[in-house]
Amino acid sequence: MILAGSDTTTVTLVWCLSLMLNNPRILKKAQEELDTHISKDRFVNETDIGKLVYIQAIIKETFRMYPPAPLSAPRELNESCSIGGYNIPKGTRLIINLHKIQRDPKKWPEPLKFKPERFLTTHKDVDVKGQHFELMPFGSGRRSCPGTSFALHMLYLTVSNFLHAFDFSIPSYGLIDLTGTVGLTNMKSTPLEVLVSPRLAPELYN
């Protein structure tokens, strides 16, 4: 679980920060949520996560746009079935294009826009744990990722503390390149370079 989760968690963190830096309003709103519920006198702890609904929505939207594994693990059908009008015989190997499904305009209005608010309004009941087939970055069913809860827990806590502890800016004007790579893991094609400065009391960093 640790081996499989290390690169995918890192990839998600990089995409999450890249998307927010290209959308400063969202980054500011996330930090305002942290300041409201946590204050600037301490770091975020595990018991705070339930209150940080906007940050949870940001991570969901990151998963929707940039699933760490854009193609699901292969499945083999143990019985014949029909999907979308296609008859698929038993024994067929099936690989699901999560990247395509999660950007389907029939399910996601403005699918190419980074809009975390959709998970607080129109899609507030959609989760990432495989119960909703329009969003399943961890897969679904008996072969879904066994580290889902672990990954979500780590992402919520890491992103929250990262945004709470630091201010971010990019060293040059313009938008960050959001081009991905081809492979099992959806890596960003260019390194993310940011300027980081503390935003909390100096004694907290000792």
| Phi-psi label, residue 130: left if phi above 0, alpha if psi -120 to 50, beta otherwise | left
**Residue in the block written with tokens 């081009």:** 179
CA–CA gap between residue 1 and residue 17 (Å, rounded): 24
81 belongs to an annotated ligand binding site: no
Q: Which two tokens stand for residue 115?
A: 């809009």
Buried-exposed string 3-14: b where 16+ CB fall within 10 A, e elsewhere:
eebeebbebbbb
Type of residue numbered 109:
P
With contact defined as beta carbons under 8 Å apart, do 162 and 124 qualify? no
CA–CA gap between residue 64 and residue 108 (Å, rounded): 10
Q: How buried is residue 63: exposed, middle or buried, by Cβ count under 10 Å (0-12/13-18/19+)?
A: buried
DSSP-assigned states of every residue in 17-47: HHHHHT-HHHHHHHHHHHHHHT-SSS---GG
Binding-site residue positions: 145
Residue ranges for the binding site for heme? Answer: 145
